[in-house]
């Protein structure tokens, strides 16, 4: 079942009873069901890697946006991923660079009225290992063509789930219109 775009998000964890990354991925994939697939990933280094690879094989997306939750009151476009120590036994480069039309994504999110920054530090948790896994998959398979990791803010008064979902939907709508 090939799709043009795969979105991933994470399950809830610790004190975060709702993970807006998954809620946005699920909702946006339903809104664009013919073109967009979604995969829920666990907050576990190795299992997330395994399920991401399975989703990439199943959906065969042209492009992929993985999403995760990060503290803060802004969206972060992650541009690089470092190989986590949990993957020391796996082959692959230590540093991998994402590829996406960064300027365009940044402008779309600004137009959606959400603060956005570019980042070169995906963090040392499952978000970084997932982004590294996505980019490693791409380096070995020459697909997906474009890959990005997007950190979204935790659910709050300023960022209810629907605001995050609307911003991701604007990003995906723009991507679909320009592909």
- pLDDT tens, 160-170? 999 999 999 99
Which residues are bridge partners to 47 per DSSP? none
Domain at 9, CATH number: 3.40.630.20
| Boundaries of domain holding 42 | 5-177
Arithmetic mean of pLDDT, 152-175: 97
Polymer length of the chain: 179
Q: What is the pLDDT of residues 109-145, one digit of tens each?
A: 999 999 999 999 999 899 999 999 999 999 999 999 9
Percent of the chain with pLDDT over 70: 100
Q: For residues 179 and 73, which has the higher predicted lDDT (pLDDT)?
A: 73
CA 33 to chain centre: 18
What pLDDT was estimated at residue 114? 97
Instruction: State how far the Cα of 132 lies from the Cα of 171, in Å rounded to an integer.
Output: 22
Q: What is the pLDDT of residues 9-63, one digit of tens each?
A: 999 887 878 999 999 999 999 999 999 999 999 999 999 999 999 999 999 999 9
46: tokens are: 């190795």
Arithmetic mean of pLDDT, 84-90: 92
Instruction: State how far the Cα of 1 lies from the Cα of 151, in Å rounded to an integer.
Output: 27
Domains in the chain, number: 1
């Amino acid at each position: 079942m090939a799709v043009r775009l795969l979105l991933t998000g994470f399950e809830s964890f610790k004190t975060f009873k709702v993970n807006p990354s998954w809620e946005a991925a699920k909702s946006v994939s339903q809104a664009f069901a013919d073109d967009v697939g979604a995969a829920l990933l666990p907050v576990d280094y190795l299992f997330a890697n395994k399920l991401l690879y399975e989703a990439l094989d199943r959906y065969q997306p042209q492009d992929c946006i993985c999403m995760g939750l990060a503290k803060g009151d802004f969206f972060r476009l992650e541009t690089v991923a470092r190989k986590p120590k949990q993957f020391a036994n796996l082959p692959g480069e230590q540093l991998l660079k994402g590829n996406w039309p960064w300027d365009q994504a940044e402008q779309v999110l600004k137009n959606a009225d959400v603060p956005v920054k570019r980042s070169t530090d995906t963090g040392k948790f499952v978000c970084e290992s997932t982004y590294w896994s996505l980019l490693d998959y791409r380096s070995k398979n020459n697909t997906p063509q474009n890959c990005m990791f997007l950190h979204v803010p935790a659910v709050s008064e300023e960022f209810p789930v629907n605001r995050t979902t609307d911003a991701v939907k604007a990003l995906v709508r723009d991507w679909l219109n320009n592909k």
